[in-house]
Each structure stands twice: as C-alpha cells, then as structure tokens.
Amino acid sequence: GFDAGREDGIFGPDTAAGLLDFQRNAGVSADGVVGPSTIESLDRLGEQPGASVAAVREREALRQATREITGQVVFLATAPELSLLGGVIERHLVNMGVSVIADHNGTDDHTLIEEANRSEASIFISISLGDRPGSRVCFFESERYRSEAGYRMACAVSTELSSVLEDLDPTSTSGRMLRVLRETKMAAVVIQPAGENDAARASVLVRRVEAIGLAIADGVQRGIEKPDLDLTLENPVVKIPGNA
C-alpha cells in the first residue's frame, strides 16, 4: 500500500518515499532507515489478522483530521425507550458547538443509514439497548478489517462511561458487524448502555441519565479532539458474534 515504484531491487527515491510514508503511518521515527523499530513494525503488521492498507490509511487520515469538536456534524439515532438519554446527549453536544441531526423515533436501520449517508455528518451514533446484560460501545470490525475511527471513538466513549458507572462492571468495547456500523460511510458507534432485560442497569440509567448523557458527549469530544492514535490491534477487544 506504500508506493515504492518498480520492484527492481534498487533503493531509489521511490522506495525511500514509500519507506518514509510507512514509518509515518506506523508511528516510528521517520528517518528513512530500515532499523530495528521499522522491522518490528513490519513484522507486527504482517502478524495482525486485521491489518490492511485501508486501516493504515485510515489511521493516517485520523492523524490529519480536525481536532476541534465545534462545527462537527453528528447524526444521533436513539431508540424510543432511551429518548430521554438521547435528548441529554443531544443537548450537551449542541452546547459543545456540534450540529446534531437527531432521530429519537426508532426509525428502521435502512432509513437511518440512507439519511445518515445523505447528510454531512462525520460521526454516526446509535443509542439502543443491547442483546445481553452490561454496557458496551460497538464499532465495526470484521475478520479482516476494522474501522479505525470508529474504534477510537468507541474507546473514548467507553472510557468516559466507565468513569461515571465505576460502581458497576466497566463498559466494554466490542467489534461487531451490525448493519448500521457496516453500511454507514462515516465513523460510527453503537452505544448500548444496558441490556434489554438488565433491570438493575436500566434503573441506573434512569437515576443517572444526566451524568451518563454528559459522559457520552464528553466521550465524543474526547474521540474527536484527543483520539488515542497509538491504539493497535494488540489492544484487547471484546468480539461479539452477530451480523444483525
């Protein structure tokens, strides 16, 4: 994925440019020298099943992305039973200078995806109850690829959520192939603050809706302004099967 010109066995200008490009993307010293750290990065990239040219390019795009939440456009889709939480999240995002396109009506996924992809949103957030107990933030991940922007946003939101739900189990970060994650063209996360039959956590949502909504908004801000660009596939991710 890094253009080194023809495969002629000569370390010329094109090869040097390709090497520098790889070093910048891999986060090692961009000195144009194939030293131990560069070789380790090449070995590590080859060993990671999810590594791909697309992923590396997406990480580079993240490095160059705007680090300011003000002026961002967020598409926020909330299940009707969590509309109160959705309203709190929307309010805090607006107070941060975000333009929010909100749907709190439980619109079907097909319509949501079409509307989101037609919009100018750079981030898609879905708030819904999960199919199992606990709190989690999902991003798109398949066997060969994951959304780097979605992953970092999910990690940022889960960190903030865990801080306000510290007396409960930590909010996990899960790679999934949910349709709204798979078919939206922007960075996307599905936030599941509780399971459908998780009565204990559902009651916490009601009692702490303001704090939880603010934590999610803070997580979005953190994901935009301070994404952890050093996260790699070596970080632990909870994988949950399912393509719904």
Domains of the chain: 13-49 (no CATH), 69-225 (3.40.630.40)
pLDDT at 110 over 90: yes
User: Average pLDDT, stretch 226-232?
Assistant: 67
Report the C-alpha gap between 158 and 173 in whole angstroms. 7
Q: Given the DSSP bridges, would you call strands 73-78 and 172-176 parallel, antiparallel or unpaired?
A: unpaired
pLDDT recorded at residue 229:
65
Work out the pLDDT band at 240, boundaries 50, 70, 90: very low
Residues 129, 132, 138, 144, Cα dihedral to 10°: -140
Q: Which stretch of DSSP H or E encloses residue 187?
A: strand 187-192
Would the pLDDT of 85 be above 60? Answer: yes
- The whole-number pLDDT of residue 62 equals 66
Tens digit of pLDDT for each residue in 170-197? 788 999 989 999 999 899 999 999 988 8
Q: Cα(57)–Cα(68) distance, rounded to whole angstroms?
A: 21
| 196, 129 contact by CB (below 8 A) | yes
Tell me the percentage of the chain whose pLDDT exceeds 70: 79
pTM for the whole structure: 0.72
- Calculate Rg over the CA atoms of the chain: 20
Q: Give the per-residue pLDDT at 184.
A: 92
- 10-24, 112-126, 156-170: which has the highest mean pLDDT? 112-126
| Residue among 189, 171, 232, 209 at smallest CA distance from 85 | 209
Q: Does position 38 have pLDDT exceeding 90, yes or no?
A: no
Q: What span, in angstroms and rounded, lies between the C-alpha atoms of 207 and 48? A: 42
Task: Taking residues 36-49, report their average pLDDT.
Answer: 72
When the pLDDT of each residue in the chain is averaged and rounded to a whole number, the result is 83
For residue 2, the model assigns a pLDDT of 63
pLDDT at residue number 37: 86
What's the token pair of residue 75?
């598409």
Stronger pLDDT, 44 or 118, i.e. the higher one: 118
pLDDT in tens, 53-64: 556 666 666 666
- In this prediction, residue 147 carries a pLDDT of 87
Most confident of 8-17, 28-37, 160-169, 178-187: 178-187
pLDDT at 7: 45
Lowest mean pLDDT among 170-179, 199-208, 218-227, 233-242: 233-242
DSSP H or E segment with residue 77: strand 73-78
